[in-house]
Amino acid sequence: MAKEKKDKSAHPFRENIEVVVFAIVMAMGLKVFAVEAYEIPTGSMQPTLMGTHLIDPATKMTDGGLHDRVLVDKISYYFRDPKRWEVVVFRYPLLTHNNYVKRLVGMPGEQLQITAGDIYTRPLGSNDEFQIVRKPWNVQEPMWKRVVPGVGDDPTKWANWNRTGAFDHEPDGTIRFNGQATLQYAVSIRDQYLHGYPDEIFFRMPNPQSRSSKRVSDLRIAFELEANEATGPFHAEFMMGPYPVNLEAAADGSYRLEMPDGELFEGVIPDLGRATKFDVAFWDHTLRLAVNDHEVVYRAMDLESGRETANSISFFSAAKGWGLSPVRVWRDVHYLAPLNHSTPLFDIPEGNYFMMGDNTQNSLDSRDWTSEILTFDPPLRGLTTLRGDRMDGGADEKFNNPRHNAERNIMTFRDEFGGLHTFTDEELQGVSRILQAAPLVPRNYLLGRALAVFLPVPPFAPVTRIGWVH
């Protein structure tokens, strides 16, 4: 039986147009209501999100850039409230047609304080003690910024390590302890701006304008330890600000970890004949120990708020036979106080959030947002009040607000909705001008949460940037 022939459409052109229109409508609907892609322009969220111009090392001229493309979930916040530590895209409250991306660190109904590089909160309006806010490991792990070995350093050479006593230095970089000996990192670890950038672009970064080089207290230290017929114990001592962490390994394969709160953890090396990986991390008054990539300790401790920011790393043994691999060290984000030196204390009422960048040395965020309010009495050209952001001395002069002409007798002021208003000196006579801190982001300004980085990739960039955002 012959197949029936389909009737040809009498209006094929119209149907094609309908398909195209339908596809466009669906795509626009997804963009408005579901997901959208954003490009990261700056390094304010490094290492989580990257955005920077790159310099040709030979010519010292701009030669492209590294700008993450981020997929943003715009649905979740219709059904639930945002959560602390989520990376959020939102409208900048003082210039509402500009979108920013930062990490949500302060929640509604709390008072937030920045102390010694960490974040503390308490219920708004209470006299309770401030409590440190802890990042969970799935958030913390991708936020570590590598410090040791430094970019370009050969880890087998142990740059910046002081050695005292009897050692053998093996070809693979292992240091063999042969009696009374001490190994200590000679440099105080600070929050250098370039920490966390990939090695491939490190030497192509523009000269940064860093707002800090403070000593840090939160570190992650990883190394391999081998007991080759060891005759006694091996000790590792780490000072995380005022908080000591001590690890002791015995020749029989047992080890113990002494935590800053005095608690002890005891374990056994699974295979004494092989090198054992130790990974010690301290952040936000939390201690984690992994042995051979297996987490054995995860402890949140009730420690006094320490204002001392310092660090030291040392290994020592009076015994022979211990072999120590090249040590790797990372640091946590060190949260900085506001640029204007005001008290780093912020009230967050209900319906509002507090945002900060992961790279707090180069992030314009809730700490420093300042509004300028112009009040006209009597009204001028129908205006009674204007509000905009106060942006002086920024890298982009066109983004500064307010701006003046060369003779400085005409001022252009950008309001919070992007409108531009020009005034002469005469018109500004008697106008009230007030500066106010403006650290909060209203709930209805949140557009979505960053889900994943899906670009760039080689050969269009020097590194691959693909992965989930935590």
Question: Does 279 lie in the same domain as 213?
Answer: yes
Question: Does 234 lie in the same domain as 132?
Answer: no
Question: Does 197 lie in the same domain as 76?
Answer: no
pLDDT, block means (10 residues), the chain with 470 residues: 47 55 46 72 93 86 87 93 97 95 98 94 96 97 96 94 93 92 95 90 80 88 91 95 95 93 92 88 98 96 83 94 95 89 86 96 92 95 94 70 91 95 93 94 96 90 92
Question: Does 176 lie in the same domain as 105?
Answer: no
Q: How many domains in the chain?
A: 3
Question: Does 292 lie in the same domain as 173?
Answer: yes
| CATH code where residue 356 lies | 2.10.109
Tokens of 175: 């240091």
Per-residue confidence (pLDDT) for residue 4, from 0 to 100: 45
Q: Does residue 19 lie in a domain region?
A: no
Reduced to 3 states, what is the DSSP secondary structure of residue 451? strand
Per-residue confidence (pLDDT) for residue 24, from 0 to 100: 46
The partner residues of 346 in beta bridges, in order of sequence, read 112
pTM over 0.85, yes/no:
yes
Q: Does residue 2 lie in a domain region?
A: no
Per-residue confidence (pLDDT) for residue 331, from 0 to 100: 97
Per-residue confidence (pLDDT) for residue 2, from 0 to 100: 42
Tokens of 94: 């003082």
Range of the domain at 428: 370-438
Tokens of 201: 């672009």
Per-residue confidence (pLDDT) for residue 393, from 0 to 100: 64
